[in-house]
């Protein structure tokens, strides 16, 4: 088994019972064992889930870009245009690179709205600042396909179609798409941090009842392990039990903007600084699939 990260995120539409699961422990919270969906998933293999539910589960191969970013192919518009998207739990909007943005190389795919029969432009626009870099552009709606591999059967088994999805069209950017070869950011965080009247993609998938189970999972391997045949994946509707050993720990999402969980302590050089021990004070950890940085506020 390679050194890799397997994490699954489960969301109940319209519910406060949202949970993150990681593979670093041996026990599942007893209260969660009673949840029918969780129990059924824990007892069902990934292969049989795909066989039974067909396009209600999805498994996307991911490309490792320098052990920093992982991207999977998505297709936008009609006819579909291919882009490589980073699925980001640290943001809630989807941003897709416009064909009007020029680079010094030809290593990018991009979206040309004039070539899509279903594209609809809007007057809404925004500027977004990330941990590194920024982007800006207008919002528009079009169809997005996940799992479609360019075959004539656009919406057959193994793919899902999200109709009339509202996303941002990147018309200008700085230090976002320059280093690595990806062309879109798909925000998976909660709608609380999305732009006004913009619904995160996974929320839209839930509202259109496209998955049997409202969860998604990451399997991220290093470049070294990728050479050994352990390839990264992003899945929706299930998590793949073959990708890890042991059981899973489920942790409640205590703050629903990004996926934030409570943790017990921070140790530096084996020494506790007591930051999480103050009465009435909680330490929260936001799990962000869109960055390799580990950051703390400067007062810590």
Q: pLDDT digits over 223-266, tens only? A: 999 999 999 999 999 999 888 888 888 889 998 899 999 988 88
Length of the chain: 300
pLDDT tens, 256-299?
899 999 988 888 899 987 778 777 778 899 999 988 888 876 65
Taking CA atoms, 237 is separated from 4, 206, 215, in Å, by: 21, 10, 5
Helix boundaries (H) for the chain: 30-33, 36-43, 46-53, 201-207, 223-226
Angstrom distance (rounded) from CA 127 to CA 172 = 9
pLDDT at 133: 85
Q: Is 39 helix (H, G, I), strand (E, B) or coil?
A: helix
- Give yes or no for residue 35 having a pLDDT over 50: no
Q: What's domain 11-243's superfamily in CATH?
A: Acid Proteases (2.40.70.10)
- What's the mean pLDDT in 169-196? 92
Residue 11's pLDDT band (cuts 50, 70, 90): low
Angstrom distance (rounded) from CA 35 to CA 10 = 12
Best CA proximity match to 65, nearest among 176, 151, 173, 150? 176
pLDDT tens, 142-177?
999 998 765 555 555 678 899 999 999 999 999 888
Q: Are strands 184-187 and 81-88 parallel, antiparallel or unpaired?
A: parallel
């Amino acid at each position: 088994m390679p050194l890799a990260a397997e994490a699954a995120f489960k969301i109940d539409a319209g519910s406060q019972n949202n949970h993150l699961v990681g593979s670093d422990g041996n026990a599942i919270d007893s209260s969660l064992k009673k949840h029918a969906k969780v129990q059924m998933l824990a007892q069902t293999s990934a292969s049989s889930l795909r066989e039974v539910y067909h396009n209600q589960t999805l498994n996307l191969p991911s490309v490792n870009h320098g052990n920093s970013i992982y991207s999977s192919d998505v297709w936008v518009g009609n006819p579909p245009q291919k882009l490589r998207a980073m699925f980001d739990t640290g943001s809630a909007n989807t941003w897709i690179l416009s064909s009007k943005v020029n680079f010094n190389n030809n290593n990018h795919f991009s979206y040309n709205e004039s070539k899509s029969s279903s594209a609809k432009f809007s007057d809404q626009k925004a500027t977004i600042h990330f941990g590194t870099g920024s982007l800006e552009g207008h919002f528009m709606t079009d169809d997005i396909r996940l799992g479609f591999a360019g075959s004539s059967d656009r919406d057959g088994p193994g793919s899902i179609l999200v109709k009339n999805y509202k996303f941002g069209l990147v018309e200008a950017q700085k230090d976002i798409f320059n280093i690595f070869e990806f062309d879109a950011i798909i925000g998976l965080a909660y709608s609380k941090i999305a732009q006004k009247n913009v619904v995160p993609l996974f929320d839209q998938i839930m509202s259109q009842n496209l998955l049997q189970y409202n969860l998604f999972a990451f399997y991220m391997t290093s470049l070294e392990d990728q050479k050994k045949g352990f390839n990264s994946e992003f899945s929706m509707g299930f998590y793949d039990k073959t990708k890890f050993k042991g059981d899973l720990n489920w942790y409640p999402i205590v703050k629903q903007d990004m996926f934030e969980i409570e943790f017990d302590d921070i140790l530096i050089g084996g020494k506790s600084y007591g930051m999480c021990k103050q009465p009435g004070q909680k330490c929260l950890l936001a799990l962000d699939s869109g960055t390799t940085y580990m950051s703390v506020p400067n007062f810590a």
